[in-house]
Amino acid sequence: MSARYEELKGLKNLGQKYAYTDREVMLYAYGIGLGADPMDENELAFVNEGTFTPRPLKVVPTFASVAAWGSGPGEMNLNRVMVVDGERDITFHQPLPVAANITADSSVLEVYDKGKDKGVVIVHQTVLKNEKGEKLATLVASRFARGDGGFGGPNLTQPDPHKIPSRSPDRTIDITTRPDQALVYRLCGDRNPLHSDPEFAKKAGFPRPILHGMCTYGITCRGVLQTYADYDASAFRQHVARFSSPVYPGETVTMDLWKDGDVISFEAKVKSRGVTVIKNGKTVLG
């Protein structure tokens, strides 16, 4: 087995400490577009902590993706300009509190070496726990490093993704993003200049800054929230999505959704460019 494979596979970082308040919770909700209509009471519940009639602030389930921003299994020494998100899979063990001190345990699950000039896919896991040591959420991330690979890892096959139903969608919704949405979302933690610096974006091969993949991921959670979950954040058990193409801030994201019992399948596209941006999406409600 190659030394590079063993190095990556052995990465682990336990007991990372983080804290967040309702400010971060509301910023994330606003960053994925909730609250665009300041008169929408369903959305205000995620972005407004104080009302004339008191009500508890709700936490978007996928806030888990930024609650411990910066946590990870360790330095992977990758060509960062060529690294993109491949997939996110979050399992929710209990509703996230509005404010909390948490710990994050991170480790690499597997490394898929696609070969020289083909890149490598690194799958790592982060488990978020509350102060009692109880699991809040388990995040599995797939990272595609396009500029790495070919170091002699084992010949492994990645698991098949969730299969989308062959019938026509049960529902289709349009979610509009704002031209400045990436500039807001980056305040949740990801300050990669690819999403804010036009010059950097062009050097990375894009005509202008792109929306964070994880913002698009949050938008798909929002789509399920407003349709089949009836804005009940506690109903989410799992939310999975594969990234296939970037969204540019200001574009409209069209979500197709299929409901089979407690499983909601979804895909998302930008019709104006004829591209699919999210594939093989799955939400489990319960």
Catalytic residue IDs: 190, 195
Cα distance between residue 248 and residue 29, in whole Å: 19
Q: Which amino acid is at 25?
A: V
199's CB contacts (< 8 A; 6+ apart) are: none
221's CB contacts (< 8 A; 6+ apart) are: 32, 60, 61, 62, 236, 239, 283
Are residues 164 and 265 in contact, defined by beta-carbon separation less than 8 angstroms?
Answer: yes
Residue 269 β-bridge partners? 254, 276
Enter the tokens of residue 56. 């508890």
Are residues 217 and 281 in contact, defined by beta-carbon separation less than 8 angstroms?
Answer: no
Enter the tokens of residue 149. 């690979």
Enter the tokens of residue 62. 């996928």
The residue count for the chain? 286
Q: Which amino acid is at 239?
A: H
Cα distance between residue 189 and residue 35, in whole Å: 20
53's CB contacts (< 8 A; 6+ apart) are: none
Are residues 280 and 241 in contact, defined by beta-carbon separation less than 8 angstroms?
Answer: yes
> Residue written as tokens 């807001």?
184
Cα distance between residue 121 and residue 248, in whole Å: 24
